[in-house]
Amino acid sequence: MRRTTHLKAVAALSAVALLAACGGDEDGTADDTTTAAEQTDDAAGTDDMAGETGDDMAGETEGAGAGGDGNTGDTFTLGYILPETGQLAFLGPPQITALGLAISDINDAGGVLGNEVPDAIAGDEAGQDTVAQASADRILSQDVSAIVGAAASGMSLAVIDRITGAGVMQCSGSNTAPTFTDYEDDGLYIRTAPSDALQGPVLANTIVNDGWSNVAIVARADDYGRGLADATAEALENAGATVALNETYDPNATEFNAAVESVVSAEPDAVVVVAFEEGAQILQGLFEAGLTPESTGIYGADGLRSGDLGSIVNESDPTIIAGMKGTAPASADNPEFLDKLAEFDPELEDTTFAPQVYDCVVTMALAAEAAGSVNAMDFKESVNDVTQGGTECTSFEECRDLLADGEDIDYNGASGPLDFTEAGEPGRATIEVYEFDADGELQSVETVESNPTE
pLDDT tens-digit map of 379-428: 999 999 999 999 999 999 999 999 999 999 999 999 999 999 999 999 88
Interval 125-162: pLDDT, tens: 999 999 999 999 999 999 999 999 999 999 999 999 99
Is residue 429 scored above 90 in pLDDT? no
Is the model more confident about 452 or about 59?
452
Which CA distances in Å does 24 have to 101, 105, 126, 355? 12, 16, 22, 19
Is the model more confident about 88 or about 172?
172
pLDDT bracket for residue 72 (50, 70, 90): confident
Pair 145, 106: CB distance under 8 Å: no
Interval 309-352: pLDDT, tens: 999 999 999 999 999 999 998 878 889 999 999 999 999 988 88
Which distant-in-sequence residues (6+ apart) come within 8 Å of 12 by Cβ?
A: 90, 306, 308
Beta-bridged to residue 432, according to DSSP, are 328, 447
d(CA 123, CA 137): 10
Is residue 6 scored above 50 in pLDDT? no
Length in residues, the chain: 454
Per-residue confidence (pLDDT) for residue 277, from 0 to 100: 85
- Give the pTM: 0.80
Is residue 81 scored above 80 in pLDDT? yes
Per-residue confidence (pLDDT) for residue 67, from 0 to 100: 59
Task: Give the range among 41-50, 198-207, 365-374, 387-396 with minimum mean pLDDT.
Answer: 41-50
Closest C-alpha among 364, 377, 361, 374 to residue 68: 377
DSSP assignment, residue 387? B
Is residue 53 scored above 70 in pLDDT? no
How high does pLDDT run on average in the chain? 87
Q: Is 165 exposed, middle or buried (CB count within 10 Å of its CB: 0-12, 13-18, 19+)? A: buried
CATH for 13-195, options being 3.20.180.10, 3.40.50.300, 3.65.10.10, 3.40.50.2300: 3.40.50.2300
Distance of CA 60 to the CA centre of its chain: 25
Which distant-in-sequence residues (6+ apart) come within 8 Å of 53 by Cβ?
A: 129, 154, 158
Is residue 63 scored above 70 in pLDDT? no
Neighbours of 10 (CB within 10 A): 14
Q: Is 4 exposed, middle or buried (CB count within 10 Å of its CB: 0-12, 13-18, 19+)? A: middle
Q: Per-residue pLDDT averaged across 66-70, rounded? A: 71
d(CA 165, CA 158): 13
Is residue 68 scored above 90 in pLDDT? no
The dihedral formed by the CA atoms of 12, 14, 15 and 18, expressed in degrees to the nearest 10? 140
Which amino acid, one-letter code, is at 298? I
Q: Per-residue pLDDT averaged across 13-36, rounded? A: 37
d(CA 198, CA 334): 21
| Residue 392 phi, psi (nearest 5) | -70, 140
Per-residue confidence (pLDDT) for residue 17, from 0 to 100: 42
Beta-bridged to residue 431, according to DSSP, are 329, 448
Neighbours of 98 (CB within 10 A): 31
Pairing of strands 429-436, 442-450: antiparallel
Which distant-in-sequence residues (6+ apart) come within 8 Å of 320 by Cβ?
A: 287, 292, 310, 313, 314, 440
Interval 277-297: pLDDT, tens: 899 999 999 999 999 999 999
